[in-house]
Structures are given as structure tokens and as C-alpha cells.
Amino acid sequence: MLKYVKMGGFIIFTSKVNLAEENQYKYEIDKLREEHHWKFVTDHTFYRYDKMSGGQGKFSNKLVKIVAYQKTDHNVYLIREKDRLENEAEMEI
């Protein structure tokens, strides 16, 4: 998704939520955030298929999380991280 969105653009998607109401892709999402590929904007949790009466059909009421992230410049992060590590190395000397 990051490949196809412009810098500063928004990525909005749904994510699976397990029985403990935790995002099943939390590790992957957090890793991208920590590496400054994107930043968190907002999220919303809701039940899909909640308007179906009597559980008709093959669809069941499921908890879903929709999240929004904004693309940030990962290259700026890499430059800052390199500078930080160089400064730490100089301080140790």
C-alpha cells in the first residue's frame, strides 16, 4: 500500500480483530510506524453484519477495526537515525 500512495497521503484499511479484541496485524503495523513509514491518524472499531435479523445467511456478526495512517518519509528517518548513531559514537570517544 505504501508503494502506491503519495507522500502525506492516507492509507485506510480494515484489520482483523481476535477474540481478545486485539489487532491481529499489530506487530507489522507497529514496525512500519516505528520505522517512520507512516504515522497513526485514527481508528474505529465496529461490528459488521450487525443489522442482519436472526442470523440469516452465512454471515455472522464480527468485530472489525478500521485504521488510518498517513505516509511519512522513511528516508528522512534513516538519515536522522544515521546522524544519531554517529553522534553517539563520537560521544563515546
pTM: 0.67
Give CA–CA dist 53/86, Å, rounded: 62
Parse the chain into domains and list their residue ranges: 2-92
pLDDT digits (tens, 9 = 90+) for 6-41: 988 999 998 877 777 777 788 888 999 888 889 999
The answer to whether 70 and 36 are in contact (CB under 8 A) is no
Characterize 25-55 residue by residue with b for buried, 16 or more Cβ atoms within 10 angstroms of its Cβ, and e for exposed.
Answer: eeeebeebeeebbbeeeeeeeeeeeeeeeee
pLDDT digits (tens, 9 = 90+) for 36-77: 889 999 998 888 765 666 656 566 677 788 999 999 888 887
Element (H, E) at 82: helix 74-92
